[in-house]
Amino acid sequence: MPKKIHRLVNFEGGVNESSDPRDVETNEVIQSDNVVVDELGKLKLIGEVSSTAITTFSSQSIEPGFGLFSYSTDRDNAGNLNHTDWITMLNVADGNVDLRHTTSGSSAVITDKLDLGGNNDNVRGSFYFADGVLRGTDSNFAAARNANTQWYGYTDSKLFHTTDRDTNNGTAVHEISRWTGTDASLKKLTDMGTPVTFELYDAGATNPSATQITNRKNRIVLAYWKFDNGDWNGDYQFGFTPVYVGDQEGPMDIHETQTITCADHKVLFQVYVQNADSATVSAGDAHILGDDRIIGINIYFRPYGEKTFRLLKSIDLKEGGQNHWKAYNSTDHTAHGVFAGTVTLAQPVQTSGSGTNSYKEATATVTINNTNYSNGFDDRKGILRLWGFNASPEYHDVKVELDVQDGSSSGTNFPISVVLPSAGTHEFRAELLDEDFNVVAESAPIETTIADSGLISTDSDRFDYGSEYGAYADREDEETWYNI
């Protein structure tokens, strides 16, 4: 028989040690210790763990099976916007997690960034990473450790904007731009390192003074003031929750010791977040409510005795809504924004002719004497409302600057065009309203008798079916004047 050649050229089937050696596929082998078949038609040596370390953590120790986690952030350790890869290294000796850049150019080990509470007792790190933040915890529940799950991420909060962010990024009182390590738990405000305290304050007469705005941080004063003609009735209790980055609401603190009592009131609220004895906050300072992650406060209310709280208002600690935030001084600002003085309405004067005895266009002059004019009425407007005239109530169509008045003079006059009402005795009155149409001051009424109800022309330009002319139903000259 002639010689034959049998060639073995394919090995990509790898090991088949379970079948009979004679029955394995022609591209399989029976044993392949340290030989790899990942390239077709070739057998070669397998790889191994590199003897060259990527990095070394000196004088550290690990819990077998745990401690390594990889994640990537948009920022480097200096806080600059550089895509950066990181690893964790949990040192079982002390339970602290070191972090290290694995990206070129920044090889420093950043030590002890998360404390998982280890005491050399088999601390086992468990991690997750979401939206730029690393969370780590000790998953060894058997160990007697009390450390909470930890949070480590970059905080970029511009708090307490005093100007519009759309203009040059606005002006923030406290710019937090740093890596923050803290408990991951969403604490209630009273569970902060320094517990936050609360107070309700009736600001109907004056803003809070140093009695309420104390020399400490971590305190919230909810100022309120009431007006008539509202629907608040009874006692109301309030609760406060922190809102953390990501719109994560923390647990509520119920303010048990104070309520607001109302009887057909409408209520206005203003929030004061204390900052001790400074109008500024340095960038490196701690968050004044105790956690860098807090970006808002939710205020809740409930009728006293009921179980359910409902949201009253969400307060944005960053931009603060349309009117942003403002620094408040407990000594100088207690009277700011609170109107004090008089509103006086003078006898209306006909625009043509004289007196007030005819249905005619006239000018009613309101004099506002704001003795508190200098006390912080920036951007505050008032609205004049006149009663008793032909179109009643009549709103002055130009808002009144509330800080116009020089307190040493007799006041500032606001001449307003009005139309006198029909014949008879009428009472005229002027009210100064705030932006929310609440009466902050009113004039003494003046009583005026109008003898001549005036004429209304047949001129179609002046003909009006409005009810305001109903008073002319008793016209004498029926050929010329119509009863309406």
Partner 1 sequence: MVNYAFINPGKFHSGFQFLGPPFHHREYIEELEPYKNVKFKTAVLHNRRVYVGNVKITTNAGVIETLGDTMLKSEANQFDRFTMRGRIDVTSGDGEDIIKLESYADRVLQFKHSTLHVINATEKGEFLEDSYKFKGVVNPQAVARTDYGIAWANKFGCFIYDGRQIHDLLEDGIKRKIKQSTWDSFVTASTMVGYSPSKRQIIVVDGHTDDDTGANIFLYDIPTRAWVKGLGRVNNDDKSNFAVIPTADRTSSQLCFLKKDSSDVKLVPWSDTSAVGAIDLRMRDEDFGEPHIRKKISKIYVTSKRGSGITVSGATNGSQNFSDITFDVGTISVDQTVWTKTEHKVTAGGNNVYSVQLKFSGTAANANFEINDISVVYRLKGVK
CA–CA gap between residue 434 and residue 103 (Å, rounded):
59
Nearest approach, Cβ of residue 463 and partner 1 (Å): 39
Rank residues 65 and 466 by Cβ distance to partner 1 and give the closer one.
65
Among residues 115, 167, 218, 241, which is the contact residue for partner 1, using CB under 8 A? 241
How many residues can be counted in the chain?
484
Asked if residue 38 binds partner 1 (CB under 8 A), the reply is: yes
Q: In sequence order, which residues have a C-beta less than 8 Å from that of residue 370 and are 6 or more positions away?
A: 339, 340, 341, 377, 402, 403, 404, 405, 407, 411
When asked if residue 104 is in the footprint of partner 1 (CB under 8 A), the reply is yes
Rule CB under 8 A: is residue 426 a binding residue for partner 1?
no
Q: How many residues bind partner 1 (CB under 8 A)?
A: 177
User: Shortest approach of partner 1 to residue 230 CB, angstroms?
Assistant: 5
Contact window for partner 1 (CB under 8 A) among 38-46, 391-399, 460-468, 473-481: 38-46
Choices 50-58, 389-397, 441-449, 463-471; region in contact with partner 1 by CB under 8 A? 50-58
Q: Residue 220, SS3? A: strand
- Minimum separation from the CB atom of position 211 to partner 1 (A): 10
Q: Which is nearer to partner 1, 299 or 364 (CB)?
A: 299
Residue 6-25 contact track with partner 1, rule CB under 8 A, x = bound: xxxx--xxxxxxxxxxx-xx
**Within 13 Å and on the Cβ side, how many CA atoms surround 126?**
7
Please give the residues from 114 up to 143 whose contact with partner 1 meets the rule CB under 8 A.
126-131, 133, 135, 137-139, 141
Separation of alpha carbons 137 and 291, rounded Å = 19
**In the window 243-272, what residues touch partner 1 (CB under 8 A)?**
244, 246-252, 266-272
CA distance 183 to 185: 5
Rule CB under 8 A: is residue 186 a binding residue for partner 1?
yes
Query: Is-contact 175 182, C-beta < 8 A?
Result: no
**Minimum distance from CB of 414 to partner 1 (Å)?**
21
- The interface region with partner 1, picked from 57-65, 363-371, 411-419, 456-464 by CB under 8 A, is 57-65
Minimum gap (Å) between residue 372 Cβ and partner 1: 10
- Told to check if 62 binds partner 1 by CB under 8 A, we report yes
Residue 332, classified by CB atoms within 10 Å of its CB into exposed (0-12), middle (13-18) or buried (19+), is exposed
Using rule CB under 8 A, residue 152 touches partner 1: no
Residue 64 and residue 125 in contact, taking contact as beta carbons nearer than 8 Å = no
459-464 contacts at long range (C-beta below 8 A, 24 or more positions apart): none
Question: What is the dihedral sign for C-alpha 110, 116, 121, 125?
Answer: negative
- Judged by CB under 8 A, the residue of 80, 304, 310, 391 near partner 1 is 310
**DSSP secondary structure, 452-471, as one string:** ------S-TTT----GGGGG
3-state DSSP assignment of residue 25:
coil
- Applying CB under 8 A, which of residues 154, 160, 238, 428 lies at the interface with partner 1? 160
